[in-house]
Amino acid sequence: MKPSAKSALLALAATAPVHALAPPQDAELRYRISQYQEQDIAANRVATGATQRYQISVQQLQWQTPLAGQWLLNLQGSYESLSGASPLQTFENSSGQSEVIMSGASIDESRQDAQIQLSRYFSRGTLGGGWYYSSENDYQAQAWNLAGSLELWAGMTTLNAGLSQSDDRLSPVDTSLSVNRQLADDQSRQRQEGYLGISQILNKYEVLQLTLGYSQSSGYLSDPYRTIDLRPDNRDSQTLSLMYRFFMKPWDGAAHCNYRLYRDSWGVDSHTLELRWYQNPGRFIGRDWRANIGSRVYRQQAADFYSLASSASGAAQSNDARLSAYGAITLELGIDLLWSHALEFSLSGQRYRSRESWGPQGSEAAEAPALVNYQLISAGVLYRY
């Protein structure tokens, strides 16, 4: 139920296809620590509550190893500790200005998750499945997934497909504080997802991929911690993703271009464009270093029932800023130190900014002071053996 809570969506992110027909030869152990910090909300827009927003510390551990020459086992786990305040309601006051009711800043919670993935490599494709479990004090989630790939025409074309199912259980804390929390207690959510994709090697420098996705969510989809939040109990969504990879030999680096179109039954339409450059060692940086830099631009149309009304209408209604019309820009930078084949160190940073005026309605968009701005710093180590 917090920014870190997820509905366990495994391996359905329309990622680049894996063309290797054999698992890695070495076992790998990864550890990463990340610090996420949201920018405080403007004090003049807070009606009551704290101005401090979430700070989240994340530790992740991953281990993968080849088995019997044709199998790959992947185990992952993470632990998150978070503190701060969250928006309970955004409304428009009598002066026509939006204000936010925030929770207190005493929230101090944690989340743990674990997942296991097993993949089988064949001469012309792969087939794998996995299971995921996540737990925090007010939300439990578990999911399974299946995914596979098939190479055609001497590996020039790859077909990808996947399915997943997640089942989540809500258990809001302090149910005596609101009717919404009482109604949500012991409620469930389900989500089914599927995708079909095709990738084509155009030549030795270029790869193009198209992926179509569909998901369906059902159950209690409202946010019990918000004062006014009543959402439909079903949500269908469709996605179209395009991926283009271009290796530039003179620069010994690769340009990654991604575009994603999203539409759902709540009226939310969004466009995401991502550009990224990956620089190999030796050309413009030292032979022991690898770097990447990227930017992501996002624009979203508001849900049909998004409203800043200060009272409940009895119909579907939500003032969650994540359902408003807005735009966002993300800047990212990462660098890896290739100490040896067995040992790598990485450091990355991300800065995210969102504005109502960057959305489809431009300067005419309704204010949404609860929109999030954040920064994320991560450091990691990889050991092969």
| Other CB atoms within 10 Å distance of the CB of residue 249 | 8
**DSSP E strands, 265-366:** 269-279, 289-300, 317-318, 326-338, 343-355
H-type helices in the chain, by residue range? 179-184
Which of the residue ranges 40-44, 290-294, 306-310 has the most confident prediction, judged by mean pLDDT? 290-294
> Concatenated DSSP letters for 92-115?
E-TTS-EEEEE--TTEEEEEEEEE
Q: Tens digit of pLDDT for each residue in 152-174?
A: 999 999 999 999 999 999 999 98
Could you tell me which of 110, 229, 240 has the C-alpha nearest to residue 179?
A: 229
Cβ of 367: how many Cβ atoms within 10 Å? Answer: 18
Mean pLDDT comparison of 41-50, 93-102, 293-302, highest-scoring range:
293-302
CATH number of 41-50+86-106+137-384: 2.40.160
Mean pLDDT (whole number) for 37-61: 94
Mean pLDDT value of segment 29-44:
96
pLDDT band with cut points at 50, 70 and 90 for residue 21: low
231 confidence band (pLDDT: 50, 70, 90): very high
pLDDT at 252: 95
Q: How far is CA 107 from CA 56, 137, 234, 283, in A?
A: 11, 12, 30, 48
Separation between Cα atoms, residue 12 and residue 298, nearest integer Å: 20
Q: Is the pLDDT of residue 13 over 60?
A: no
Q: Are strands 269-279 and 55-67 parallel, antiparallel or unpaired?
A: unpaired
Instruction: Give pLDDT, residue 375.
Output: 98
Task: Tell me which residue of 94, 82, 107, 83 sits closest to 47, measured CA to CA.
Answer: 94
Give the pTM.
0.91
Using an 8 Å Cβ cutoff, are 368 and 319 in contact? no
Structural element, H or E, at residue 233: none
Please state the domain extents for the chain.
41-50+86-106+137-384
The whole-angstrom separation of Cα 289 and Cα 127 is: 34
pLDDT at 184 over 60: yes
